[in-house]
Structure 1
Amino acid sequence: MQEFFSPVSKSVLGHRELLPENVLGKQLRIHNGRNGFPELEGCKFALFGVRENRNDTDFNGSYPVFDSIRKSLYALFPGNWNYNISDLGDINPGETVSDTYFAVTTVVKALLHKKVIPIMLGGSQDLTYAVYRAYDDFGKMINYVNIDSKFDIGDAEAPISNVSYVGRMVIDKPYNLFNYSVVGYQSYFNAADEISLLERLYFDAYRLGEITNEIQLVEPLTRDADIISLDISAIKGTELSYINNSSPNGLDGREVCAIARYAGISNKVSFFGVFEINNFENAPSASMLIAQIIWYFIEGVNYRIDDGEFVSDSDFKSYKVPVQNDVLLFKKSLKTQRWWIELPFIPEGNNKLKRHTLLPCTYQDYVSACNQEIPERWLKARRKNEI
């Protein structure tokens, strides 16, 4: 896969030489002109950029550059991590966008097979479609969490773009998408018919106000996710400089870093990407925020704890709650204190839930069930399996 990559720029490598010895940049395995492509054996993470944004509906002929983000990331001190991290360099735009998609799918698939977590810096967010297609050969349904101000469903019959790629994930074969969750959407950026469509498909959508009022709502979503992508339009303009996002509303730096840490802590997340990046050379605070988001994701992975398969009674505690005509079974991990709710297997359904028998939830979901309120995510997941 190394044929797809160009080395990290000399400007970044020169900046790295001026940094203190213990910073992250001095510990990375870096693709450079002198030593060539880095060794992936024993690596936990592979950072790379994709300089593709031609399917951006606002494409103006310029391509993203990630040098300033790398300079900010390299200058950070690592946590107490025992992981090797590689910087593979950048995938440049192919002759066509489809060529770039092919390169992204090939690279992500190869990294997943090597048990390496890809961390992507991307141009337009339609690149997530190419990431999604990398999971085709793994024989499992995929959960995708999108941190975004918009749904990005769009017109699935129209050419793919950064505002319609999710629609293609839904309708294109092979059908691997089990659940799609949007975190931090803002209603005035989304058409009413898209909101209705999301409800009819039993997908999850959390408004910005819900997330800022209770950031813990994100944790069960990330715990059940395979792919997580962040559109920087979800972040308020003051955090990035208004050159990169004109919206006055959105997640602040602390909130988006907390979400990144939740994503890392999840035992299932195998891809993390940040998209809609422009050239941040004149916006150092934006570069530093993206660098810190990546830092918190890696930090989260460092604190992953395997809750097990809930086979041994010594690993969990069960709670049966009669609600209306159902009896809901909750399970609480004794290792992490995290909660799950069991979904009934429906043999006459499409059986998508074979690997989704336990749905991550919160303690508040348990309390609500005790008050005779069925958790909405449980209802959606059950109805989805009955279709």
Structure 2
Amino acid sequence: MAFSAIDTIIDFLEPVNLSLLNNDEDYNSKQLGSAADIYTSNFPDVDAADLIIVGCSEARGAGVPKRDDDGINAVRAHFYNLYHWHAEVKIADIGNVKSGASLEDTYAALQQILSELSALNKKVVIIGGSHDIMMAQYDVFDAQQKLVEAVCIDAILDMNVDSRMPAENFLMQMFTKEPNYLKHYNHIGFQSYFVHPSMLETIDKLRFDCYRVGIVKEHIETMEPVVRNADIIGFDITAIQHSHAPANRITPNGFNGEEACLLMQYAGMSSIAGSIGIYGYNYRQDISDLTAKQISHMLWYLMDGIQKGKNEAPLEQREYFNEFRLMFADFETMFLQSKKTQRWWMQLPDKTFVACSGKDYATALNNDIPERWLRAAERL
């Protein structure tokens, strides 16, 4: 990384106090704490990193006025105690974002950090405060005037226009900001009893997609191409069952711990997802650090996905893909199947490819239009 780029972001960051995480005890050679390049005094070599961790405890958007890094420290403590099974995945922990004088100042600082790391084509995971911090992820693309595809994994649609708290209405800002660069939005895991029917009508009119938690749990593998297509991902711990994430006081229902880890593995496998935020963790509401442990396991599976994704070839290297050309409903298109990972892509009318599933190919083979293809074509 160029020194100028380090100078650009280091002023926004505070180093990690490692003694708070390991009680001044050394990690053994097989633990993640020994393998990670952590910002304690010297800034990490982010050029060599496959995954960059940044903490951001900003929660004023959820009505919490005082900064509290205890939750981020708890997640780090449990994560760095885990064993390192992914030798090909290099981790850099660049510390915590300093709180700005205002909420917007913190957004701007995180946006600047993400912009610099995005220019280096790095995957960043934000261990965050409230979910509205995701606006900083979006603003990276807004500032560059680039189209962005977003995924939220959350029990609730944060579109409450009657609330003054950004954490409860930031999606409306993302959907209506002008000029708007939101190409597509997917919401995974909403729980119907928390969502006003008109919200879903608004989402559908925008040609965005929402997936109810029960449907996702029945066929969670169908979410892999949804996550694979996203540039930015926000995961709110309200999407996880209270029994697996006790800090979630909103609902007892949702994804179990293994399903949450699988969704994060999908995010790691994606070559597109540049920033992933894990939001909504309130350390004061946790029990025996179980939510912190759950998040640490999600980070481990994110690494697992990154290692799996390294086995995938670029779409341009067609010798690593099976090609299937076919017609459906008077449209001619092509499906690609990876010989390495068995994942699927389909071609749209503008000749670009988007991630899809084998089920989409089977639908097209029966001369029916896959719904995923139709909605993507409509957005063109």
Q: After TM superposition, is the score higher than 0.5? A: yes
How far apart are 1:37 and its partner, in Å? 2.9
How far apart are 1:361 and its partner, in Å? 1.2
How far apart are 1:73 and its partner, in Å? 0.3
Match of 1:295 in 2: 300
Match of 1:351 in 2: none
Match of 1:272 in 2: 276
Correspondence list, 1:26-175, <5 A = 26-32=34-40, 35-56=41-62, 58-59=63-64, 61=66, 63=68, 65=70, 66-136=72-142, 138=144, 140-155=146-161, 161-175=166-180
Distance 1:13 1:254 in 2: 25
Give the secondary-structure state (helix, strand or coil) at the position aligned to 1:383: helix
Give the secondary-structure state (helix, strand or coil) at the position aligned to 2:375: helix
Conserved in 2, the CA contact under 8 Å of 1:53 and 1:64? no
How far apart are 1:185 and its partner, in Å? 0.9
Unpaired runs of 5+ in structure 2?
1-8
TM-score, normalising length: structure 1: 0.88
Correspondence list, 1:206-217, <5 A = 206-217=211-222
Count of residue pairs the alignment pairs up: 369
256, 260, 264: which is aligned to 1:260? 264
1:209-251: CA deviation from partner (whole Å, max 9, x where unpaired): 111101101111111111111000000000012x433411100
1:338-362: CA deviation from partner (whole Å, max 9, x where unpaired): 22222112xxxxxxxx7xx212111
**Cα RMSD (Å) of the superposition?**
2.3
Give the secondary-structure state (helix, strand or coil) at the position aligned to 2:227: helix
Match of 2:13 in 1: 5
2:323 matches 1:317 = yes
2:255 matches 1:251 = yes
How far apart are 1:36 and its partner, in Å? 3.7
How far apart are 1:20 and its partner, in Å? 2.5
Conserved in 1, the CA contact under 8 Å of 2:192 and 2:212? yes
Distance 1:115 1:330 in 2: 27
1:145-191: CA deviation from partner (whole Å, max 9, x where unpaired): 11111222343x98661122122122223422111101111111111
Conserved in 2, the CA contact under 8 Å of 1:183 and 1:211? yes
Judging changes above 3 Å, is the alpha-carbon distance between structure 1 residues 19 and 263 closer, same or farther for their aligned structure 2 residues? Answer: same
Conserved in 1, the CA contact under 8 Å of 2:320 and 2:338? no
Structure with greater helix percent: 2
Unpaired runs of 5+ in structure 1?
346-353
17, 29, 33: which is aligned to 1:25? 33
Distance 1:217 1:4 in 2: 38
Match of 2:375 in 1: 380
Judging changes above 3 Å, is the alpha-carbon distance between structure 1 residues 232 and 16 closer, same or farther for their aligned structure 2 residues? Answer: farther
Judging changes above 3 Å, is the alpha-carbon distance between structure 1 residues 171 and 159 closer, same or farther for their aligned structure 2 residues? Answer: farther
1:360-379: CA deviation from partner (whole Å, max 9, x where unpaired): 11111122233444222222
Distance 1:333 1:37 in 2: 38
Match of 2:181 in 1: 176
Letter in 2 for 1:145: V
Conserved in 2, the CA contact under 8 Å of 1:308 and 1:315? no
Judging changes above 3 Å, is the alpha-carbon distance between structure 1 residues 283 and 329 closer, same or farther for their aligned structure 2 residues? Answer: same
TM-score, normalising length: structure 2: 0.90
